[in-house]
């Protein structure tokens, strides 16, 4: 069987989950899970492979699963719970061993039998692979130290609300990689816009840049393994792209199609960082992520500009990141909380003579933590001038004496600019640029 089916694994609860493997052609196989008296039978194809769906109960365990043909494989310590795929580049990969806030304290108390990790090694290939050589691990101080911190804190927060429900984290992440390598190659190649952007990527020494290279090895072998949803933390390696929102939409759509259902997809907006003074490459990616979150159904984005120093491309507060992602899942997917867990987001721009009025969603208690306005305004010439702002309920009124007829508004528009506007949940407004 593929190594994603190993001792200590977590299967999605109350679902029809697919398991699969290899056997001699027409070998008869019997699957017997210990949570039921029912057995499942299938037969290997003439291509020496087999697959079957089995019903899982409500969360719990540990269980065993016996898979018997000419030989027998017994999977032990199997838990039933919630499974999340966690992918991206170094900020998803980043473990406590890299140095996170309160790292030693967190490592010491990270013994949770109900949290399990399946971490993919970094591998690339020109064609789709069918196995990842790894295994499920129980969350202990030792395993957590080298596992994804963002994923770990996501699971920890889920369990604070969901109590005894096991959480399985399948982590496929590779530092320094662009989004193109995580997208199926055929998706990029058949889209002229995405292919042109991919062809502009500059080779690097620490990973591949060609479309599909990590998808083939680190995502494709997992397709079919039932997941509750996906977490994504990536974008820094695409700074310079002006089509990242299209890239992200293509990745999400392709993954959902391959899995066969529209699972929730929650992602982290990259943090402010000085990518260079002579361009807006970083903030353009943040704005593209904002637009993608607005356009893609059953998705959500967390903004982290308030917990990220502008001089560190690897923010060390991964607890805030994981908790914010978990809050989106707890509210929008599990419907277990009804708190304000989203950052404010732009909903509408209305022009009133020499003023611009911006309305927001999730903006209850909107406030600024400094007197400085981070808004700029332009007319048809797109020459931007600093603008005054006035907060009125959940709207902001923008104006400048230098712009008689507003056309475009931008906020916190700089690679390393941190937002100073928050809602009552103390979640920051994303940088943005909009026009009427």
Tokens of 405: 């007829």
For the whole prediction, is pTM greater than 0.95?
yes
pLDDT of residue 294: 96
Strands of 89-144 (E only): list them: 112-119, 136-139
**CA–CA distance, 217 with 103 (Å, rounded to integer):** 31
Return the bridge partners of 346, or none: 360
pLDDT of residue 277: 83
Strands of 238-330 (E only): list them: 265-268, 299-302
DSSP classification of residue 428: B
Distances (CA, A) of 428 to 271, 307, 357: 12, 10, 19
What lies within 8 Å, CB to CB, of 370 at 6+ separation is 420
pLDDT of residue 425: 98
DSSP classification of residue 277: T
- Whose CA is closest to 218, among 134, 143, 97, 139? 134
Region of 8 on the Ramachandran plot (φ > 0 left; ψ -120 to 50 alpha; else beta): left
- Whose CA is closest to 361, among 375, 381, 342, 347? 347
**CA–CA distance, 146 with 319 (Å, rounded to integer):** 15
What lies within 8 Å, CB to CB, of 371 at 6+ separation is none
What lies within 8 Å, CB to CB, of 335 at 6+ separation is none
Helices and strands (DSSP H and E) totals, the chain: 10, 23
**CA–CA distance, 332 with 326 (Å, rounded to integer):** 10
Q: What are phi and psi of 253, to 5 degrees?
A: -60, -40
- Whose CA is closest to 110, among 100, 124, 125? 100
pLDDT in tens, the chain (436 residues): 999 999 999 999 999 999 999 999 999 999 999 999 999 999 999 999 999 999 999 999 999 999 999 999 999 999 999 999 999 999 999 999 999 999 999 999 999 999 999 999 999 999 999 999 999 999 999 999 999 999 999 999 999 999 999 999 999 999 999 999 999 999 999 999 999 999 999 999 999 999 999 999 999 999 999 999 999 999 999 999 999 999 999 999 999 999 999 999 999 999 999 998 889 999 999 999 999 999 999 999 999 999 999 999 999 999 999 999 999 999 999 999 999 999 999 999 999 889 999 999 999 999 999 999 999 999 999 999 999 999 998 899 999 999 999 999 999 999 999 999 999 999 999 999 999 8
Domains and CATH numbers, the chain: 10-80 (2.60.40), 81-333 (3.40.50.1110), 346-435 (2.60.40)
Tokens of 4: 């994603």
What lies within 8 Å, CB to CB, of 193 at 6+ separation is 243, 246
**CA–CA distance, 122 with 272 (Å, rounded to integer):** 27
Q: How far is CA 392 from the centre of its chain?
A: 34
**CA–CA distance, 243 with 202 (Å, rounded to integer):** 16
CB distance 81 to 143 below 8 Å: no
**CA–CA distance, 236 with 175 (Å, rounded to integer):** 10
Distances (CA, A) of 40 to 14, 126, 224: 17, 36, 18
DSSP classification of residue 20: E
pLDDT of residue 342: 98
CB distance 387 to 399 below 8 Å: yes
């Amino acid at each position: 069987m593929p190594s994603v089916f190993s001792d200590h694994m977590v299967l999605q609860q109350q679902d029809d989950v697919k398991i699969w493997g290899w056997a001699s052609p027409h070998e008869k196989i019997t699957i017997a899970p210990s949570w039921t008296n029912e057995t499942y039978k299938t037969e290997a194809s003439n291509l020496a492979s087999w697959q079957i769906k089995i019903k899982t109960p409500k969360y719990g365990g540990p269980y065993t699963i016996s898979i018997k043909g000419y030989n027998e494989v017994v999977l032990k310590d199997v838990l039933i719970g919630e499974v999340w795929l966690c992918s991206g580049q170094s900020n998803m990969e980043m473990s406590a061993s890299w140095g996170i806030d309160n790292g030693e304290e967190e490592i010491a108390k990270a013994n949770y039998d109900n949290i399990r990790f399946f971490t993919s090694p970094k591998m690339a290939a020109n064609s789709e692979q069918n196995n990842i050589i790894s295994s499920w691990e129980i969350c202990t101080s030792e395993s957590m130290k080298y596992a994804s911190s963002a994923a770990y804190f996501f699971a920890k927060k889920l369990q604070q609300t969901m109590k005894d429900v096991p959480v399985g984290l399948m982590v496929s992440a590779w530092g320094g990689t662009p989004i193109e390598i995580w997208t199926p190659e055929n998706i990029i190649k058949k889209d002229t816009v995405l292919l042109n952007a991919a062809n502009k990527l500059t080779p690097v020494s620490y990973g591949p840049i060609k479309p599909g290279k990590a998808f083939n090895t680190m995502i494709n072998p997992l397709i079919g393994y039932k997941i509750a949803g996906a977490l994504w933390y990536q974008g820094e390696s695409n700074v310079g792209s002006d089509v990242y929102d299209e890239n992200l939409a293509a990745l999400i759509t392709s993954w959902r199609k391959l899995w066969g259902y529209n699972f929730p997809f929650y992602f982290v907006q990259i943090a402010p960082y000085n990518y260079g003074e002579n361009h807006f490459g970083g903030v353009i990616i943040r704005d593209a992520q904002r637009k993608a979150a607005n356009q893609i159904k059953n998705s959500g984005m967390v903004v982290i500009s308030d917990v990220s120093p502008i001089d560190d491309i690897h923010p060390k507060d991964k607890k805030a990141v994981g908790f914010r992602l978990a809050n989106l899942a707890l509210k929008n997917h599990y419907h277990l909380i009804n708190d304000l867990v989203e950052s404010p987001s732009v909903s509408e721009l209305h022009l009133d003579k020499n003023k611009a009025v911006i309305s927001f969603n999730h903006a209850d208690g909107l406030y600024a933590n400094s007197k400085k306005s981070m808004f700029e305004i332009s007319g048809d010439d797109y020459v931007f001038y600093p603008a005054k702002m006035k907060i009125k309920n959940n709207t902001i009124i923008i104006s400048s004496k230098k712009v008689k007829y507003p056309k475009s508004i931008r906020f916190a528009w700089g690679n390393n600019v941190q937002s100073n506007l928050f809602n009552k949940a103390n979640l920051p407004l994303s940088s943005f640029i909009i026009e009427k």
